[in-house]
Amino acid sequence: MTDLKLTNVGKTYGGAVEVLKDINLDIKQGELIVFVGPSGCGKSTLLRMIAGLEKITSGELEIDGMLVNDVPPAQRGIAMVFQSYALYPHMTVRENMSFALKLAGKAQGEIDEAVNRAAKMLQLDQYLDRLPKALSGGQRQRVAIGRSIVRDPKVYLFDEPLSNLDAALRVATRIEIAQLKEQMPDRTMIYVTHDQVEAMTLASRIVVLANKGVAQVGSPLELYERPNSEFVAQFIGSPAMNLLPGEVIETGEQTRVKLAGGGEAVSHYPTQASDLGLKVNVGVRPEDFETCESDELFAGEVNITEALGEVTLLYFKADEGQEPSIAKLPGIHKGMRGQTVKLTAPADKVHLFANGTSLLYR
């Protein structure tokens, strides 16, 4: 049982600059947790605190039921893969991978076995005697992962491991990491990224960090379908969810909203009678919009179109200082610029937020 438990964990630099506060997380053995968040939200700091590279200034970190706040990194049963791979440049691949075991005083035979097994797993067998500088980016990345595997840690920590790879390699390595996780179902992995696709595809649960704290924790689809705030709603999904101001005009199992822009929306979010007249933001993801002839939710003049082949993005004209609304329509739509388009969305795809918070999580 290797559960990881964070209780009211906080980080302050120099007694004044607070970067994280009151982080509470319960990570079960075998989970693949992804930390996402805007840059500077402290996701890497949190990972480094779990690793033991940053001091935890407040709160408690437990691994396997043991308080490890002051336990040195090597004794926490963790291994870390760094963004820049952090391979020792003067050591061969084999030496890089066996360094930790050597320090731990393992027998040479045991070390060789572990290294060879990891090398086979990562298809590095032919490169064992090369120096890191003679390897490609993807190979270096695999050595970095191999260095973690040989130690057979209880918890793997990944700090944006794919951000230095080119797009094609990133996809391939992402799949490799997913396969690696499948081969080690009882090992916990914590993965930091700013790439949504990585988060959505790899995670068993995503932790969205914002404003020094946890914004929402949940499975990828939970975050996509039931975001608890405007922040999470706009952070997950690309392009970001449209937010349109309006006022509740009918409550009940479903809610009807009159939009400031003129249209009307029906949402599957339930409301009470007391919510009548409530100022809300109606959230619709660009991909949930459909064109319609009448009873539209939104109507606007197309300003820019981006044809991506499988879909076309429509950017609508917006008032100065306001985010333009975006619709993602399947297929190719040419010559829509300057046209007025009417859009609607099915009730179960329409989200409602009041004061930044989802009406589902009140």
Partner 1 sequence: MHPAFLGLLTIAIGVGGCVAYYFFSNWVLDNVLFPAKGPQAGRNINRANLIRPWLFLFPAMIALGLYLAYPVIETLRLSLTDRDQDGAFVGLANYMQMFGEPKFWEAMRNNMLWLIVVPAMSTMFGLLVAQLTDRIKWGNIAKSLIFMPMAISFVGAAVIWKLIYDARPEGTEQIGVLNAIYVAFSGGAPQQWLTLPIWNNFFLMVVLIWIQTGFSMVILSAALRGIPEETIEAAIVDGANPIQIFFKIKVPQIKSTIMVVWTTITLVVLKVFDIVFAMTNGQWSTQVLANYMYTQLFVANDWGVGSASAMMIMLLVTPILVWNVRNARKEMR
Which residues here bind partner 1, judged by CB under 8 A?
A: 51-53, 72-75, 78-80, 82-91, 99-100, 103-104, 147, 151
Rounded Cα distance, 20 and 41, in Å: 8
The answer to whether residues 146 and 118 touch, using CB atoms and an 8 Å cutoff, is yes
Strands 32-36 and 188-192: parallel
The nearer residue to partner 1, 80 or 248, going by C-beta atoms, is 80
The nearer residue to partner 1, 80 or 352, going by C-beta atoms, is 80
Taking the complex as a whole, the smallest distance from the CB of residue 68 to partner 1 amounts, in Å, to 13
The nearer residue to partner 1, 95 or 195, going by C-beta atoms, is 95
String of DSSP letters for 271-317: B-GGGTT-EEEEEE-GGG-EE-SSS-SEEEEEEEEEE-SSEEEEEE-
Taking the complex as a whole, the smallest distance from the CB of residue 306 to partner 1 amounts, in Å, to 37
The nearer residue to partner 1, 102 or 317, going by C-beta atoms, is 102
The nearer residue to partner 1, 147 or 285, going by C-beta atoms, is 147
Taking the complex as a whole, the smallest distance from the CB of residue 94 to partner 1 amounts, in Å, to 15
**Distance (Å) of CA 58 to CA 4, 9, 213, 275, 310:** 16, 5, 13, 40, 49
Extract the tokens encoding 170.
Answer: 């990133």
The nearer residue to partner 1, 86 or 354, going by C-beta atoms, is 86
Continuous segment of H or E residues that includes residue 36 = strand 32-36
Q: Give the residue among 227, 248, 83, 266 at the shortest CA–CA distance from 159.
A: 83
Residue type, 203: A
Taking the complex as a whole, the smallest distance from the CB of residue 146 to partner 1 amounts, in Å, to 13
DSSP alpha helix (H) spans, 184-208: 196-202
The nearer residue to partner 1, 95 or 290, going by C-beta atoms, is 95
Q: Helix, strand, or coil here: 164? A: coil
Taking the complex as a whole, the smallest distance from the CB of residue 59 to partner 1 amounts, in Å, to 21
How many other C-beta atoms lie within 10 A of the C-beta of residue 216?
22
The nearer residue to partner 1, 89 or 321, going by C-beta atoms, is 89
**Torsional sign, CA 39, 40, 46, 48:** positive
Taking the complex as a whole, the smallest distance from the CB of residue 189 to partner 1 amounts, in Å, to 15
Taking the complex as a whole, the smallest distance from the CB of residue 143 to partner 1 amounts, in Å, to 11
Residue type, 236: I
Taking the complex as a whole, the smallest distance from the CB of residue 226 to partner 1 amounts, in Å, to 36
Rounded Cα distance, 266 and 297, in Å: 9
Taking the complex as a whole, the smallest distance from the CB of residue 161 to partner 1 amounts, in Å, to 12
The nearer residue to partner 1, 33 or 150, going by C-beta atoms, is 150
Residue type, 8: N
Extract the tokens encoding 6.
Answer: 């964070």
DSSP alpha helix (H) spans, 104-219: 108-121, 137-149, 167-183, 196-202
